[in-house]
A and B are shown apart, each in its own frame.
Chain A
């Protein structure tokens, strides 16, 4: 059985699938960010299209709703001249009882080169990568609570644009770590890039039981946790989790873990504030902070296109060079 990290590489040790940050090394993350840098600088030009993926077919296969991720993947693919099909499976074949594998087999028969997949269950992208025909690549656009590697990479790219050197950074990730694929991938990416400290801040109900095994420090108090922090990453709190057995109420959460200007002032003065979106104003973050000078939330979105262009072109080069 293939290990998740080895599944991502072809026999030439090139990235064939991007399923998880786990198993990637610092050089590869840096290469992706460097490539994204050149795509980002070209974004302001009048003609934004490059012929790198001309003739390639990419299917955005979304088993879960998404606006930002799907749109930026679509734009990234189109700017690389690929043909893109968006499939919203939440309202499609599987609701008629088709299995995940059958859906993939049918699309394979249409000679697709790459699948970008979002699915509600952890491990779905691995399962598909293990079962697609050779030569087809899979990019994980979020599987359950497991991984969201492209989001983590665009977040690292955003941090690098503002902070340069990871080894001196203390990064706080605040909110629902337990149910967050973004947090898991960010933690792995920050570890690989050598961040000085990764601190997770949340009540115990929103933390995995063995969270420290991921290589983080833990705080249950936002005021304490924000001290000496260079990068503040807020996580979205899903509406259905705001009241019930995980948390008493929105307002109680906001008063304890919501990022207000006063709380942000505890972090380093030049700290940046990030959020993978969509934000819940007044639940995890105050509008003054989300729209304030330290916020880089909208930059994250535009960098998302550059990062996804970099990843798609890297993977497609690998699959083209793969001996048949």
Chain B
């Protein structure tokens, strides 16, 4: 199809400061007009988006796909399809696949699978150090040429501060963005829960907030030294927000995101040794949760990611400390954005920005907006439609969500990927 008309939807495009009901015109995979019908336009296909919201396709800064290496948990096909049908048109996958994405061959393998899946666009994040071992730098420039968008040591923080410094220096010389999930490995100490009252009560090894705070302080000091662009991902502490705020005031090149579920859960939810709530960083206190929400409201935290980590059932069956951390979160991203609006006094446009425009800005992506001339990656959703999180509706291979069996509000109805209509 070469022309597409989306009529009467509420167009929300934070990048262009648009929140208004109207039509959107697409021709040859690109957005050619908003609100005003171009003189020579005749629609070959029309979508009636009345009572629906039409926004840029969502961008997820962190979604594990598990392929190569852990296809018992998920595949590139299963997860990019689940993403696309949930409105996510672009996602970044961390480098901790098996083998680790530290050579162009792995990047190419991933992108080849992505191309065949014909679903969401995947922007691989390359390993910052070889094998994520924190000792030798990976070939970042070659990885970038192969398609890596940024570099990270993912869930394996670099222990050696000299190696961390060199990594940041090297990345900075090539203007590459480094993504850090801040965690001091010594203080993390194989913990599985926030070091708070539940850890005391259940005798579970806690992860203190100091683990995250020290890691951020260390990285910020090295950011100042090296000038490297750093994106901090999945913050969990109130104090972390204050550190990022101060760094931004100092004009350091830093950005930050928070994982969506950290805006809804605290350690109190862990009343039952429920392994679906085993996440890293752990759910912390109400004070921390409020701090993260405040960070979003004040713009200190730029974006929200799903931190999608699909697991096979076995990974979550066992005594709590022996289960694997993470939540399958692609499909709940949009409903939770809507929940953010109703529960935390954020406007819909503001909330959508966290998973479109703002996420794009962090990685200098051209996606994430409805600008004239841009590739048509669009999410159309019904904000009122309720849907049950169950076998019938779930697409990800990982069913490890705390919302299983619940009803959520907000359903993607159509997604436009590069001008092609996909019905959810």
Show the binding face of A for B, using Cβ within 8 Å: 1-4, 7, 22, 99-101, 119, 121-124, 126-127, 131, 143-147, 179-181, 184, 208-211, 213-214
Interface residues on B, range: 20 to 34
Q: Is the CB of A127 within 8 A of B208?
A: no
Contact indicator B272/A214 (Cβ below 8 Å) = no
24 chain-A/chain-B pairs, Cβ below 8 angstroms: A1-B272, A4-B271, A4-B272, A4-B273, A99-B318, A100-B319, A119-B319, A121-B319, A121-B320, A122-B202, A122-B204, A122-B319, A122-B320, A124-B319, A126-B273, A127-B320, A144-B204, A146-B203, A179-B203, A209-B196, A209-B206, A210-B196, A210-B200, A211-B200
Could you tell me the distance between the alpha carbons of A184 and B200 in the complex, rounded to whole angstroms? 9
Q: Tell me whether B200 and A2 are in contact (CB under 8 A).
A: no
| CB interface residues, B 243-275, toward A, < 8 Å | 271-274
> Considering the chains assembled together, what is the distance between the CA atoms of A100 and B208 in angstroms?
29
Q: Given contacts A145-B204, A209-B195, is CB(A127)–CB(B318) below 8 Å? A: yes
Given contacts A99-B314, A144-B319, A144-B321, contact A184 B203 (CB under 8 A): yes
User: Top 10 nearest A-B pairs by Cβ distance?
Assistant: A145-B203, A208-B200, A121-B319, A123-B273, A124-B319, A123-B320, A213-B197, A146-B203, A210-B200, A210-B197
In the complex, given contacts A119-B319, A123-B320, A214-B200, what are 10 additional A-B residue pairs having Cβ atoms less than 8 angstroms apart? A121-B319, A122-B319, A123-B319, A124-B318, A126-B272, A131-B317, A143-B319, A146-B203, A184-B201, A211-B200
Main secondary structure of the interface of B (DSSP, over half): loop
Whether A101 and B203, one on each chain, are in contact in the complex, defined by CB atoms closer than 8 angstroms, is no
Residue B341 at the chain A interface, CB threshold 8 Å: no
Closest chain-A Cβ to B239's Cβ sits at a distance in Å of 16
| Interface status of B214 (Cβ within 8 A of chain A) | no
Cβ contact within 8 Å between A121 and B322: yes
From residue B197, how far is it (CB to closest CB) to chain A in Å? 4
Task: Please name all residues of chain B whose beta carbon is closer than 8 Å to the beta carbon of A122 when the two chains form the complex.
Answer: 202-204, 273, 319-321
CB distance from B192 to the nearest CB of A (A): 9
A99:B200 contact, CB within 8 angstroms: no
Q: With A121-B319, A123-B320 as given contacts, are A146 and B314 in contact (CB-CB < 8 Å)?
A: no
Q: Does B199 contact A (CB under 8 A)?
A: yes
Q: In the complex the two chains form, is B199's CB within 8 Å of A208's CB?
A: yes
A residues near B206, Cβ cutoff 8 Å: 208-209
Residue of A with least CB distance to B273: A123
Known: A127-B273, A146-B202. Is A121-B321 also a contact (CB below 8 A)? Answer: yes
